Each structure stands twice: as structure tokens, then as C-alpha cells.
Structure 1
């Protein structure tokens, strides 16, 4: 690979790392450059994934405090993302390159709709949950009230389980489980991770849309989770591709990966600090623009 090409990949990797930290889809910068250099699509995806893993590593370092604050809820999501990404990476090894032309535009449109209509979709999901709760009706046995909250005075002997001096005093027994453990969220992110392991580009937009809808939180507040999941996906996919390189002779352009990796690590770290300072409207606007650019590039 020519020195000029490596410099271009280094610069694109830096920019892509910063974009990945903020919204995802940084691969939309590096993948076209790799293919413009004459690298076949499948080889370009593998080369890019190995390099862009370091952008997600840098992003997670930048968001390490936010990730630590959420860690008790993240294990199911991380495991699901890892399994899904591994399946997606294996799928890339055996599927024709032409499949990318069909799958990618559809998923980008889905992600774009999720981001643009996040609030409406979140409201619809919550309304559906409320209707299901109403249909279930009151549950009286065991001292449970019609609102679904256990009456502390209904414990054996009429003693309050939340009284002063009682074991577990101060514990909030009526707290709802974290939306990060919702089966619908975990299942949706698992499907998105199959795509992430298969192609990687625009996966961040897809994750932000899903996380925003099922948690009802702002894009900025779930960005740290998106970066951790992207790390799990890219690591899993990169591991599959590296093993395939040694076992199946699946080609990877290592110099290209190295140039992207160096830039992506720096861009991901500093991009994370920049993303934390972005207002919600700007972050959402950037996501929409990036997704539209991705869609145009895939269709044309």
C-alpha cells in the first residue's frame, strides 16, 4: 500500500473515530476509501472492522465513568451484542458481497425512522404497556393491591416489612426494573448486532435509535451504552476475521487496518469528550445527516 494511501486512511480513521464516539457510522468515511483503493468489498469490510475496533476502544475510554454508572444493567446487552456480532461476522464470510446492497439501505432507513420519530415510538410503546397492565387487572393474592404494589402490612403477622429496624429497611420494593433489561430491547439490539458484525457501518445510528425508543432517554444519555455495545460488536467481528485470516485465508489488508486503527483510537477518545458537550438537538441532527449520507452512498 502506498504511503499516501496510508496517510489518507490515517486521517479518515481519525475523523471516523470522532464520529463513532458521537453518533456512530464513522465507517462511512473509511470503507469508501478502502474500496476506492481497489480493495474488494468483503476484504474492505474485514480490514475496516479490525481497524475501527480501536475507535470504539477510545470511545469507551472517554465514556468510562458513564459506563461504570450503568454497569449493573449492561451484562445481558453486552452478551447479546457479542453473540449477535459473531453470527453476523460468520455470515459475511459465507454470503455473497451483493447481499450488502440489499440489506444495508433497508436497515439505514429503519435506523433513521427510529431516530426521527423516537418520542412518538416511545409513547406508543409505553401506551401499549399500560393497556396490557389494564387487561391483566388487579392482583389481590399475597397482599398485592390493584395497582400492583405490595402492601407492607400484608406480611405474615401483620408486621411491616419496611418499618424502622426491619431487615431491608429503606429498600424501594416498588421500583420498576431497568428498561435496559427489557426483553424487547435486548432482542432488538441482538438483531442489530448481527447487522453490526456483518457490515459495521451505520450500526451506531441503529443502536441509538433502539436505545432511545425502548428506554425513553435522550440520545446523549445512552451514547455511552451505544459505544460499549459497538466495542463488543467490533471486537467479536474482528476476532472472527482474524481467525478466518489464519484458518481460511480470508484476506485482510493489515497496513490499512493499522493506519485506520491509529487514527481511530485518537479520534474515538477525543470525540467522546466532544459528544458529551453536544446539545440533544445537534446530536440528533448529526445522526440524521449521517444516516442520509449513508443511504445515498448505498443506493447510488
Structure 2
């Protein structure tokens, strides 16, 4: 890795740490940069997963105030995140590299769609809250305007577990998937949901990275650069991320993600 490539990887780590904390999809920043340094897709994914762990932990710590009163919910959902993240990591290494090269462009494309249409998703969730009955707070998940469980019920647990399988395989946009599911099935503010999202992402990244550490090939230089950068970015994202324009962040993610998609399709 050349000095300029090292600078680019570090900067991508800072950006990914901040974007993951506030929005999600930071992998769409680091992944194409790692590919540009010449790393194979699977090695880039493993190195990225290892490097982003400090950023995920940093972002979760930065949102610690919003985590108050959610301990039981987080413990329950973290079980599904752990199981799903481990399963996804196993699938990444169990499936042939050709499968990864075919699956990831589709996943990245879907992730870009999710990022691009996030304002519409948020708008629908906000409208759903506005039409919901004020007395609907505790029992079972229902249709818009119906009651919502405080813990989201089995549907949220299963949905987040499946999303975590994807997160362990390739992490791009898993945070947005988490936010969509929790927004529909939990009656909480978006900031408190963001805090839970950061913890779940940290759990998935940590369990996948621990698995990769013993059984997969990775680039230590890339891991170290992304780890330091993402830890810094996580704190920056938690501190000032709410002031950033969502349009700017979304445009950056879609632009860099499109570059990644083109690179994957041309490999």
C-alpha cells in the first residue's frame, strides 16, 4: 500500500465511522477504497469488518445518553444480532468467491436504493406515528394506526436477526434496514432508535470480526488504518452528525457506492 493509498484508507475510515454513527452505510465509503488499493473483494470485506469495530463501539458510546432506559430491549435484540452476525460471517467464507462477486453487486445496488429512498421511508414512518391511536402503546404489532409493542415482538426480533445475517456477510446499509424495522415496530424517537442501531451494528461487527480474525485472510495495514479512522469518525459523528445535512450525506454515500458498484461489475 502506497502512502497516498494509506491516507485514502484512513480518510475513508473516518468518513465511514461518522456516517455509520449518524446514517449507516459507511461500508460504501471504505469498501471501494479498499478495492482501489488492489485487495480482492472478500479480503476487503473482512478487513473492513475488522477495521470498523472500533468505529461502531465509538458511535454507540457517543449515543450513550439516548440508550438510557433501553437496556432490556438492547439485550434481547443483541442476541439476534449476535446469532445473525455470526451466521453471515460463516456464509461469507463458506460460499465460493464467485458467489460473493455475484451477490455483493446486487446487495450494494439494493443498499443504494435504500439510502436514496431513506427520506421517503422516514416520511412514511412519521406519517404512521401521526395517525396512530394515542392509546396504542403496548400489546401486539399492528397495521399503521394500530398498537405497537414496546419490544417489537417476535416480528422485530426475527427481522433484525435476518438483517444481521446480511450485516455479517456484507455490512453496507444494515443500519438503514435496522432503522426501518424498528421505526415500524417500536414507538420511539428516531434518536433513541439510532442509539439502538449503533449498538446492534457494534455487536454484528464484533462477532463477525472475531470469527474472521481466526479463519480469514485480511490486510493488517488496512485494518489498522480503518480502525483508527473509524474510532475518530464515530466520535465526530455522535458529536456533530445531527447538524450535517442529510442530503449531503446521502449524496456522498450514493456517489461513492455507485463507484463501488461499477468497480464490482467490471472486475
Range into which the TM-score falls when normalised by the shorter chain: 0.7 to 0.9
Match of 1:220 among 180, 191, 198: 191
SS state at 2:128 partner:
helix
Does the aligned pair in 2 maintain the 1:115–1:288 contact within 8 Å? no
Cα distance in 2 between the residues matched to 1:242 and 1:100: 21
Match of 2:219 among 253, 259, 274: 253
1:274 aligns with 2:240: yes
Does the aligned pair in 2 maintain the 1:114–1:210 contact within 8 Å? no
Question: Shift in Å at residue 298 of structure 1?
Answer: 5.3
1:76 aligns with 2:76: yes
Compared CA separation, residues 126 and 185, structure 1 to 2 (3 A):
farther
For residue 235 of structure 1, what is the aligned residue in structure 2? 206
Match of 2:164 among 187, 193, 196: 193
Output one character per residue of 1:241-281: Cα deviation in whole Å (capped at 9) or x when no partner: 1121xxxxx31001110011011111101211213x449xx
For normalisation by structure 2, the TM-score amounts to 0.81
For residue 116 of structure 1, what is the aligned residue in structure 2? 120
Question: Shift in Å at residue 115 of structure 1?
Answer: 5.2
Does the aligned pair in 2 maintain the 1:111–1:209 contact within 8 Å? no
Matched pairs, number: 249
For residue 138 of structure 2, what is the aligned residue in structure 1? none
Compared CA separation, residues 89 and 176, structure 1 to 2 (3 A):
closer
Cα distance in 2 between the residues matched to 1:294 and 1:4: 18
Moved more, 210-219 or 73-82: 210-219
1:296 aligns with 2:258: yes
RMSD over aligned Cα, in angstroms?
A: 2.9
- Stretches of structure 1 that go unaligned for 5 or more consecutive residues are 134-174, 245-249
- Stretches of structure 2 that go unaligned for 5 or more consecutive residues are 134-140, 263-267
- Please list, as runs of the form range in 1=range in 2, the aligned pairs for 1:55-74 lying within 5 A after superposition: 55-74=55-74
For residue 101 of structure 1, what is the aligned residue in structure 2? 105
Cα distance in 2 between the residues matched to 1:241 and 1:183: 29
Which one has the largest radius of gyration? 1
For normalisation by structure 1, the TM-score amounts to 0.73
SS state at 1:103 partner:
helix
Compared CA separation, residues 264 and 87, structure 1 to 2 (3 A):
same
Question: Shift in Å at residue 62 of structure 1?
Answer: 0.7
1:44 aligns with 2:44: yes
